[in-house]
């Protein structure tokens, strides 16, 4: 729903419709706040395909199965699709039963799909199907991929220990995500079976890796700590410089010392902070993002901007940090 | 469920059974932690009456309708009942339809019931039906009742603005009590219609009052700020001294300056902190408790101790403050 | 420092300088985030008067004594001043020793100053000295002033119970504001002596009132609950309608049911939510704002916009709600 | 100061004195709550050695340099010393300059000191100098040491990613630990240079390891996630069974599934929860404790109990979990 807010406030965008089976017929501004167009009401997911008039792009923040169907249908109409689910992120259709517990119905769309992490994969072609990266992969890859690409980290034995606010994991109506369950708590979850594991490995082009997420007692923010074995003289200075050089012209990524990679600096914005250090035993790379913005809706808008030749930060540079 | 923990750890108590329709047949220690007796499993509420063997007392932390039935049945057997619901708190059966949306089926038990706020109402007779006070009334009355009794506050126009952690209000499985709904939020709720309003008015013996609760983004702790019109020379010094004298020998109430009435000092314990001040326009009295301990289960144990002639703090003085 | 972010991001504004004795010579973007102009560094407060070039307005978020001096100096140069301290809020210079513990050196500036709560006091004249309201007065007055003006609340006996996040009260380097002191805590503070008391009374034109602030364990957000005695048939419907009519064309104030006045809906934005209800004993009016935005820097920008004939929401309508 | 509370409440203990340079002469109950003996006041650290009368043991929760001096002096008197600092944890005096930035003045005491993690190192002899483990080592070692000892994890390449509440890291009066700095934030700190690194490596008897701590926006609780390379057929079932067997008779350690290792289950108690799982690439072991109890003062009391032949849980089994 952050996506709807961002599109509604985008200087070059217009929000035509928004869907929600749960909130069907309710005014958007009641659910999303007074910055939403007063005239719009949610329609059901199934009604999306009945919307008249010209559409440049749709953003899908729907369950995998819904994304399969809507993406295929909008593709046939020539509408660009930015899909925020995992439906089109893995190249290997055979991985879907294991990681998403579903057979992939459109393997040919997997081949077409552009994995949209702009700092690493560049702009998508106009009209493309964009697989918008997961929140954990975004933070992990921004921190680690430049080092792996530069050959400073062994491709085997990578460990990513990630920590996410509740909006990255929780569904509202379940007891497990109640305030009194999560307040002041922390735990690991989905050990060795989180679906972002193959997505990160694919983007790093490594044969396997260990990814372990944890649930933080905060609403927003995602922090990834990656550990790898150093290679080719990867010292603290070399790995830090590698990141600085890689992101020298990046609009949204700040390379800073490890202790300045903090959730407070990025939450509320589309920015990422990354850092790396090393000694003889290990390379440590850390990344922090707002899981709902750079980890989801903000990155979707960034992908849209690049696809349509707009300034990369359009509709995103007005997102101010929230720390006092 | 804090009650079960306290009874299990009580030096003079033995936990015979615990009921939960939701957790039926699950071991208590799985749900309540390893301090629970390993051999006990939850039974259904309806099974409570089938438990064999001698029982001195039952604690009911059940919905009003369940408390009606169980209290009546255990009373017939001569078992003392400490009821933590509102089922027996109001003397006037006619008030139940308005405040609890239910006809009271046992008005005669209302007459018998002892309102169990020991600092104000003393020990209950052995074997009594005790109406254990609500969390808001406990904090409000501990702060305000001595001043009203002493004639330092007008009986008309009292306002109580109260703030409670989520355990005082929230049910786990509802979306409204999800972490992402409540984190960093605050709101007023049940304006002018909270069922603790007549309970406080009855205990203060005032014709009416204003009670407004608010929901805090924390798990435990309850803070009440009461405002009244000063009477009979109620100065800051006089009202503070009134509280000090009233609680001079109280086991669980500390009279301190206003700024030292803090949730952190009482959460985790059966203690209350209260303070009062005044100027020519107003008397302000504040009280803080742990809503789950002094505001519920701890007070129930305190009532039990007094009823059975045990030391008032038995099973309660090992509850240490949690602040660092 | 939120003010500096808002001015830097303002479509019609340009940030010329920012002062901080503590952070002197540090780049703004290091302290305030990457949305700040890369070329600017903090200068000392005392250097403000040495800045060359044309200035339309200065915003002062300085201690009262610093505001006295800087406001007087900039006034002499004909520069508009929006002062966020209490230095120019009270009309009565004689009140300063009691509430601010200082003699007011410029009583004539008190007479000139425009109290800048736009919904109640309208736009300031171009070039004016604007006393930007306090955070507590903003929330309290938005909720209560329309009802008092409409004669629906007695002018005597008003009680305001307010709750603020730590940014409204805390200084970073003091032990009393450490994380481990405030986490999960709540307390009342400055009972009967908070300096916002006379500011609210003056704006309501009432002879006296009771104002009691409390400190919440959250960073941002301020909630005020006001209680008054009903007058002239003030029913629940009448008081709610009074607010709705008063704010029918307000850019930043939403009138909603009491339970929908929530911090989460306003934090991160310049918006306020207000509600009112009543019974025969009491009128309750509630208001919620972000203390750093509508309660401080955002309102300052709103005052600037109105003073210079810009759209009231310029630079403020891109502030999106942060709740998920 | 949790230690003082625990000793004061201990059924077989008596608190003779407590020191604090900051709170010198203040009553203990003012600072630590009403469970403290009313007659005791803090004395200065330097006055500890002047206390008359028989002492069985002293607990030192003092900076390393103060512990050096006090431990040596009390040892000369034959008083048992439980030191909660790092002053006596490393066997190699030569490691102190690097990790603690100090020359160790008493290398012979390092040889004598008993590292007091009872589940791994057993009871200390009566009258011993006990080096009470650090909070991070306690959680890390409880999870990982049985697996390393059993040869299920390679001794090279171990990575420990740990997360701690603020009481584990923060000093109250520093700006970096202010509420508004830490609320809703998370960051890594002391990358590759935390002093608990050699302590964990020494206890595991491994040549080196990677230890990376992170600061959580909560007050209490510590969670460690350890990653190692599997050895000798370490499957998920094997590693879990290894922990279960190791802790079958442990008084304070519960072996549970990974998702049930949660801070909420241990905070407020002296208990630890641990779990392990594995696949072909990795062994993951997790541990959770209350950093102030099992990670510090509670473990000190456990060490005292064992040293003096008291029940291991004396004074600790009344610490109830705080989750609702």
% chain D with pLDDT above 70:
99
CA–CA gap between residue A320 and residue B6 (Å, rounded): 48
Å from C217 to nearest chain D CA?
8
pLDDT band at A232 (very low <50, low <70, confident <90, very high): confident
Which residues sit opposite A277 in a β-bridge?
A284
**Site from B140, B159, B177 to mutate, C interface, most C CB atoms within 10 angstroms:** B159
**Would you state the pLDDT for residue C71?**
97
What average pLDDT does this structure show over C49-61? 92
**Does the distance separating the beta carbons of B179 and A219 come in below 8 Å?**
yes
3-state secondary structure (DSSP) of residue C222 = strand
Centroid of chain to Cα C179: 25
Å from A41 to nearest chain D CA?
33
Find the chain C residues whose C-beta atoms sit closer than 8 A to any C-beta of A. Answer: 1-2, 5-6, 9, 32-35, 167, 184, 219-220, 254, 265, 268-269, 271, 292, 317-324
Compute the half-sphere exposure of residue B78: CA atoms within 13 Å on the CB side of its CA. 1
CA–CA gap between residue D205 and residue D18 (Å, rounded): 36
Q: Closest partner residue to B320 among D9, D167, D321, by Cβ? A: D9
Alpha helices in chain D (DSSP H): 2-8, 28-32, 64-76, 96-100, 107-112, 118-121, 135-149, 179-182, 196-204, 236-246, 263-266, 298-307
Find the chain A residues whose C-beta atoms sit closer than 8 A to any C-beta of B. Answer: 166-167, 170, 172-175, 177-184, 217-219
**Would you state the pLDDT for residue D241?**
98
Query: Nearest-CA neighbor of A268 among C37, D184, C300?
Result: D184
pLDDT in tens, D251-262: 999 999 999 999
pLDDT band at B282 (very low <50, low <70, confident <90, very high): very high
Q: Is B295 exposed, middle or buried (0-12, 13-18, 19+ CB in 10 A)?
A: buried
Å from B178 to nearest chain A CA?
4
pLDDT band at D171 (very low <50, low <70, confident <90, very high): low
What average pLDDT does this structure show over D299-319? 97
Q: Closest partner residue to D318 among B2, B9, B323, by Cβ? A: B9
pLDDT in tens, A106-163: 999 999 999 999 999 999 999 999 999 999 999 999 999 999 999 999 999 999 999 9
Residue A171 has pLDDT above 90, yes or no: no
Q: Which sequence positions of B are flagged as catalytic?
A: 135
Residue B190 has pLDDT above 70, yes or no: yes
**Would you state the pLDDT for residue D170?**
58
**Would you state the pLDDT for residue D125?**
96
Residues in chain B within 8 Å Cβ distance of A172: 175, 178, 180-181
Which residues sit opposite D285 in a β-bridge?
D226, D276
ipTM: 0.96
3-state secondary structure (DSSP) of residue D201 = helix
Q: Which sequence positions of D are flagged as catalytic?
A: 135
Residue A178 has pLDDT above 70, yes or no: yes
Query: Nearest-CA neighbor of C263 among B224, B217, A31?
Result: B217
Which distant-in-sequence residues (6+ apart) come within 8 Å of D56 by Cβ?
D79, D80, D308
Q: Closest partner residue to C34 among A9, A268, A271, by Cβ? A: A271
Q: How confident is the prediction for chain D on average, in pLDDT?
A: 96
Chains that touch C (3 or more CB pairs under 8 A): A, B, D
**Would you state the pLDDT for residue B170?**
58
CA–CA gap between residue C117 and residue D103 (Å, rounded): 62
Residue C169 has pLDDT above 80, yes or no: no
* DSSP string over C52-108: -S--SEEEE-S-HHHHHHHHHHHHHTT-EEEE-SSTTT-S-GGGHHHHHSS--S-HH
Looking at chain D, how many residues does it have? 324
Q: Which helix (H) or strand (E) holds B142?
A: helix B135-149
Report the alpha-carbon angle A221-A223-A226, nearest 5: 165
pLDDT in tens, B79-130: 999 999 999 999 999 999 999 999 999 999 999 999 999 999 999 999 999 9
Q: Which helix (H) or strand (E) holds B73?
A: helix B64-76
**Does the distance separating the beta carbons of A2 and C318 come in below 8 Å?**
no
pLDDT in tens, A50-67: 998 789 999 999 999 999
**Side by side, which strands form the sheet with B114-115?**
B57-60, B80-83, B129-131, B114-115
Q: Report whether B82 contacts B60 (CB < 8 A).
A: yes
D134: DSSP letter: P
pLDDT band at D128 (very low <50, low <70, confident <90, very high): very high
CA–CA gap between residue A319 and residue A245 (Å, rounded): 25
**Would you state the pLDDT for residue B37?**
92
**Would you state the pLDDT for residue B127?**
95
**Does the distance separating the beta carbons of B32 and D321 come in below 8 Å?**
yes
**Would you state the pLDDT for residue B168?**
82
Q: Which token pair is D243?
A: 């922990």
Provide the sign of the torsion angle of the four alpha carbons C130, C136, C137, C139, taken in this order.
Answer: positive
Q: Report whether C285 contacts C239 (CB < 8 A).
A: yes
What average pLDDT does this structure show over D235-247? 98
């Amino acid at each position: 729903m952050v996506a709807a807010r961002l599109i509604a406030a985008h200087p070059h965008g217009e929000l035509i419709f928004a869907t929600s089976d749960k909130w069907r017929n309710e005014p958007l501004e009641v659910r999303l706040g007074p910055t939403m167009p007063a005239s719009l009401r949610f329609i059901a997911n199934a009604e999306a395909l009945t919307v008249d008039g010209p559409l440049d792009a749709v953003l899908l923040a729907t369950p995998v199965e819904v994304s399969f169907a809507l993406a295929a249908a909008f593709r046939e109409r020539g509408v660009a699709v930015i899909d925020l689910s995992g439906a089109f992120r893995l190249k290997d259709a055979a991985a879907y039963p294991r990681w998403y517990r579903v057979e992939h119905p459109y393997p040919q769309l997997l081949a077409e799909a552009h994995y949209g992490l702009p700092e690493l994969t560049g702009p998508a072609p106009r009209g493309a199907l964009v697989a918008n990266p997961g929140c954990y992969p975004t933070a992990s890859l921004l921190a680690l991929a430049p080092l792996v690409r530069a050959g400073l980290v062994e491709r085997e034995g990578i460990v990513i220990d990630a920590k996410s606010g509740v909006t990255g994991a929780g569904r509202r109506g379940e007891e497990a995500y109640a305030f009194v369950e999560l307040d002041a708590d922390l735990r690991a979850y989905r050990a060795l079976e989180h679906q972002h594991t193959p997505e990160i490995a694919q983007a790093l082009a490594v044969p396997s890796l260990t990814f372990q997420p944890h649930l933080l007692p905060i609403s927003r923010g995602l922090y990834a700590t990656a550990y790898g074995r150093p290679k080719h003289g990867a010292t603290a200075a070399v790995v830090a410089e590698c990141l600085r050089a890689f992101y020298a012209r990046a609009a949204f990524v700040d390379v800073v010392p490890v202790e300045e990679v903090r959730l407070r600096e990025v939450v509320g914005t589309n920015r990422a902070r990354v850092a790396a250090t090393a000694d003889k035993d290990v390379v440590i790379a850390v990344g922090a993002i707002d899981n709902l913005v750079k980890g989801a809706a903000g990155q979707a808008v960034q992908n849209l901007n690049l696809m349509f030749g707009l300034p990369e930060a359009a509709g995103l540079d007005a997102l101010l940090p929230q720390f006092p």
